[in-house]
């Protein structure tokens, strides 16, 4: 199976699990907004969870709730990041953002409830023994809270009003929280479920996450809105420091390539079984959206 | 020990646990806002967790992380409820609300990270075996998500623009989600940690939670801002249906008294050991803040 086909197959699996989780809830606007917000996207995080599971002999059915949890968590972060008081975006995945389609109150609440849903999904008995599920809960909390994703977003917001643009170490720290922590959690999830050493996958995902953000900054300059489904040229227009502004376009592309080589080297202990992870790494810097 | 003294003692214990959880985090504005938001309050939910634990022979030290989790979750909900797009409140516990003291972005993020912290606290090994901790995670998620607290808040927001005021069954359902579910979770927590039947405590907390909300509506009419630490007369001024507008002031007081009698009856199986829970129930309808 090619990597894009595998990604699609995993995306369908995780979508079904998210739909099932939301099907039984009251049909109020906040739940409609939650259903809307968990549609679409590349589902790279879900793939990482499921591939990390496969690498450890765990079938997708026994890991899909964790993949759905990561995507619910990611969807919550996008809804809140898009709010007028944050990045103020009106377009996401080619559709109006939640606060545009509904209103700000519904967007705040839908994001809140999607975070809750993420932790609820990790309690799914299909994921295995309680201690493993609890390890996922602890890991997701660390990755997404004030020492992970929220810290990254807070640093991003602070940078917008800072007197001087961020330096390379500062923007790297910001990225490690904002997108890196959740990507690391996703890649490690299968090892956690199997009780195996997550170190190689953490090294892989640390490099992958940074490459992913550099590719995002490149797309903000080179991409088009029809393909990315979101506004482009925003960061450059706002005078924000990005990997492209700090390294130049060629420098950013070279750094991303080096990181992908690092990611590939990190999973070399798995031999041929890491083929899909390597394909994913290459996809991350070649994608158009 | 009198009930107010017990409440203070438990409040100090839970405050120390929350302070410890937040002490190690980066000193960025979002974390400062989290520390600010977890100060003060009556700590009724924390007391319920700790008393429910004591009732089952569990020492406060082995339950305090769960009490801190509930208070972190509650603090998150207050920050988000106070946002301009929600209830738009500028005063909470006698102090400026988070979005007034900082800004909206910080308030959204501090609330987000406090929700995350709540689930992280439930992973504390001091709470016992992984299956018990996981049961708390699942219970807190159910109580606070789109079938619990968020649903209640969504119904509350919807009521503000509805053509007709809510009916008594509608406002009772709203309350059961908005404040009732978390109060139930708190009262059941000790039974969950002990692997005991939580049914009597659930019945107690269901009646208590409703009485608590009715008392809140009465305070909105009869209370003063200096004592409550929040704006009063808001609901009546906004023409919102409340238990007072639907039942009248005397009718609301009688209903609250009946509910407290129900709550007391529910914990009669525990005999004298339920004395503090009964004192708490009486406190709920006699409080001035």
Rounded CA-CA distance B35/B1 in Å is: 29
Q: If 0-12 CB within 10 Å is exposed, 13-18 middle and 19+ buried, where does residue A125 land?
A: exposed
Of B85, B129, B138, the CB nearest to A108: B85
What phi and psi, each to the nearest 5 degrees, are found at residue A96?
A: -60, 145
pLDDT reading at A222 higher than 90: no
Site of tokens 């972060």:
A77
Instruction: Judge whether B39 and B93 are in contact, CB under 8 Å.
Output: yes
Tally of residues, chain A: 289
User: Is there a contact between A115 and B113 if contact means CB atoms under 8 Å apart?
Assistant: no
Nearest residue in chain B measured CA to CA from A129: B131
Q: What is the mean pLDDT of residues B23-45?
A: 93
| CA–CA separation, A113 and A37 (whole Å) | 12
Residue contact B25–A85, C-beta within 8 A? no
- Res A235 pLDDT > 70: no
Out of A26, A109, A146, the one facing B34 most closely (by C-beta) is A146
Q: Measure CB to CB from residue B154 to each of A29, A86, A122 and give the nearest one.
A: A29
Phi, psi dihedrals of residue A91, rounded to the nearest 5°: -130, 135
Q: Minimal CA–CA distance to A30: which of B113, B145, B116?
A: B145
How many beta-carbon contacts under 8 Å exist across A and B? 147
Instruction: Give residue A124's pLDDT.
Output: 98
User: pLDDT value at position A224?
Assistant: 73
Q: Report the residue from B103, B120, B140 with minimal CB separation from A142.
A: B120
B222 has pLDDT over 70: yes
Per-residue pLDDT of A263-283, as tens digits, reads: 999 999 999 999 999 999 999
* Mean pLDDT (chain B, rounded): 94
Q: Residue A1's pLDDT is what?
A: 86
Lowest average pLDDT, out of A143-157, A245-259, B219-233, goes to B219-233
Closest approach of chain B CAs to the CA of A30, in angstroms? 7
Return the residue of B nearest to A131 by Cα.
B130
Confidence of residue A160 (pLDDT cuts 50, 70, 90): confident
Give strand ranges (E) for chain A.
Answer: 91-92, 95-96
pLDDT digits (tens, 9 = 90+) for B143-179: 999 999 999 999 998 888 888 889 999 999 999 999 9
pLDDT tens digits, residue range A97-114?
999 999 999 999 999 999
Q: Which of B108, B134, B146 sits opposite A34 (nearest CB)?
A: B146
Looking at the predicted structure, is the pLDDT value of residue B285 above 80? yes
**Measured distance CA(A123)–CA(A133) in Å, rounded:** 6
- pLDDT of A219 higher than 70: yes
Would the CB atoms of A120 and B141 count as touching at under 8 Å?
yes
Inter-chain touch A109–B134, beta carbons under 8 Å = no
Chain A residue closest to B79 (CA)?
A: A108
What residues of B are in contact with residue A129 (Cβ under 8 Å)? Answer: 130
Q: Which letter does DSSP use for residue A102 in this model?
A: S
pLDDT tens-digit map of B244-257: 999 999 999 999 99
CB contact under 8 A, B153 and A117: no
Residue B70, C-beta contacts closer than 8 angstroms, at least 6 positions apart: B45, B46, B49, B118, B140, B182, B185, B186, B189
Q: How far apart are CA B280 and CA A48, in angstroms?
A: 49
User: What pLDDT is recorded for position B237?
Assistant: 63
d(CA A250, CA B147): 50
Q: What sign has the CA pseudo-torsion B15, B17, B22, B24?
A: positive
- Residue B39 gets the label, from left (phi > 0), alpha (psi -120 to 50) or beta, of beta
* Contact assignment for A116 to B154 by CB distance below 8 Å: no
The answer to whether A155 and A175 are in contact (CB under 8 A) is no
CA distance B142 to chain A (A): 7
Interacting residues of B221 by C-beta distance below 8 A, sequence separation 6+: B232, B233, B236, B244, B249
Computed on alpha carbons and rounded to an integer, the radius of gyration of chain B in Å comes to 18
**Closest alpha carbon within chain B to A76:** B112
pLDDT at A163: 86
Instruction: Specify whether the CB–CB gap between A252 and A243 falls below 8 A.
Output: yes
Nearest to B26 among A25, A34, A147 (CB): A147
Contact B26 A146 (CB under 8 A): yes
**B6 or B240, higher pLDDT:** B6
Spatial distance between the Cα atoms of B70 and B122, rounded to a whole number of angstroms: 9
The answer to whether the beta carbons of residues B211 and B281 sit under 8 Å apart is yes
Nearest CA in chain A to B73: A116
* CA A129 centroid distance within chain: 26
Kindly give the residue spans of alpha helices, DSSP state H, lying in chain B: 3-23, 29-37, 44-55, 64-81, 98-101, 104-121, 130-144, 149-160, 168-175, 181-194, 199-222, 225-228, 234-237, 243-247, 249-266, 275-286
Q: Which residue of B108, B123, B131 is in closest CB contact with A108?
A: B108
pLDDT (0 to 100) of residue B1: 85
Does the pLDDT value for residue B228 go beyond 90? no
Chain A residue with Cα closest to B138: A120
Q: Tokens for A234?
A: 């925003």
**Using the beta-carbon criterion (under 8 Å), do B80 and A146 form an inter-chain contact?**
no
Interface contact flag, B115 A113, Cβ < 8 Å: no
| Residues of chain B with C-beta less than 8 angstroms from the C-beta of A133 | 130, 134
Residue B289 binned pLDDT confidence (cut-offs 50, 70, 90): low
Is the per-residue pLDDT at A227 higher than 80? no
Structural domains present in chain B: 3-286 (1.10.600.10)
**Is the ipTM of this structure higher than 0.90?**
yes
- Integer Cα distance of A5 and A52 in angstroms: 17
Instruction: State the Cα torsion A79-A82-A83-A85 to the nearest 10°.
Output: 140
Half-sphere exposure at residue A91, Cβ-oriented, CA atoms within 13 angstroms: 11
Q: What is the pLDDT of residue A64?
A: 98
Q: What's the mean per-residue pLDDT of chain A?
A: 94
Q: Do B108 and A104 count as a contact with CB atoms less than 8 A apart?
A: no
User: Going by C-beta distance under 8 Å and a sequence separation of 6 or more, which residues neighbour residue B125?
Assistant: none
Is the backbone of residue A239 left (phi > 0), alpha (psi -120 to 50) or beta? left
Q: Which residue of B has its CA nearest to A130?
A: B131
Structure tokens at B242: 């409340």
Residue B259 CB coordination number (10 Å): 23
Q: How far apart are CA A200 and CA A274, in angstroms?
A: 11
| Whole-angstrom distance, CA of residue A264 vs CA of residue A254 | 15
List B92's β-bridge partners, or say none. B95
Question: Quick check: B154 and A106 CB within 8 A?
Answer: yes
Name residues whose C-beta falls within 8 Å of residue A133's C-beta, 6 or more positions apart in sequence.
A122, A123, A124, A127, B130, B134
Of A105, A115, A141, the CB nearest to B123: A141
Question: Model confidence at A236, in pLDDT bands (50, 70, 90)?
Answer: low
Q: Which residues of B touch A80 (CB under 8 A)?
A: 108-109, 112
**Which tokens go with B221?**
């009419």
Most distant CA pair in chain B, distance: 51
Q: What angle do CA B45, B131, B126 make, to 5 degrees?
A: 60
Task: DSSP for A146-177, please give it.
Answer: TTTHHHHHHHHHHHHT-SSPPPHHHHHHHHII
User: Nearest residue on chain A to B130, judged by CA atoms?
Assistant: A131
pLDDT band at residue A255 using 50, 70 and 90 as cut-offs: very high
Say what percent of chain A tops pLDDT 70.
Answer: 95
Measured CA to CA, the distance from residue B128 to residue B118 in angstroms comes to 17
């Amino acid at each position: 199976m090619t990597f894009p086909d595998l990604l699609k197959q995993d995306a369908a699996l995780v979508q079904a699990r998210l739909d099932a989780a939301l099907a039984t809830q009251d049909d109020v606007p906040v739940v409609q907004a939650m259903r809307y917000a968990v549609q679409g996207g590349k589902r790279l995080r879900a793939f990482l969870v499921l591939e990390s599971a496969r690498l450890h002999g765990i079938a997708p059915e026994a890991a899909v709730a964790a993949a759905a949890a990561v995507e619910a968590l990611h969807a919550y972060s996008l809804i809140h990041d898009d709010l007028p008081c944050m990045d103020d975006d009106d377009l996401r995945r080619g559709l109006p953002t939640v606060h545009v389609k509904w209103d700000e109150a519904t967007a705040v609440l839908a994001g809140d409830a999607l975070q809750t849903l993420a932790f609820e999904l990790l309690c799914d008995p299909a994921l295995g023994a309680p201690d493993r599920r609890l390890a996922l809960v602890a890991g997701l909390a660390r990755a997404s809270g004030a020492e992970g994703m929220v810290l990254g977003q807070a640093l991003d917001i602070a940078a917008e009003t800072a007197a001087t643009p961020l330096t390379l170490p500062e923007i790297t720290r910001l990225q490690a929280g904002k997108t890196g922590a959740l990507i690391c959690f996703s890649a490690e999830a299968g090892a956690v479920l199997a009780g195996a050493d997550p170190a190689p996958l953490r090294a892989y995902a640390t490099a992958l996450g940074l490459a992913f953000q550099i590719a995002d900054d490149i797309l903000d300059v080179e991409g088009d809105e029809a393909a990315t489904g979101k506004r482009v040229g925003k960061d450059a227009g706002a005078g924000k420091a990005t990997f492209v502004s700090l390294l130049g376009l060629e420098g950013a592309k070279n750094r991303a390539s080096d990181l992908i080589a690092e990611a590939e080297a990190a999973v070399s202990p798995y031999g041929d079984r890491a083929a899909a992870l390597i394909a994913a790494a290459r996809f991350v810097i070649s994608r158009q959206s």
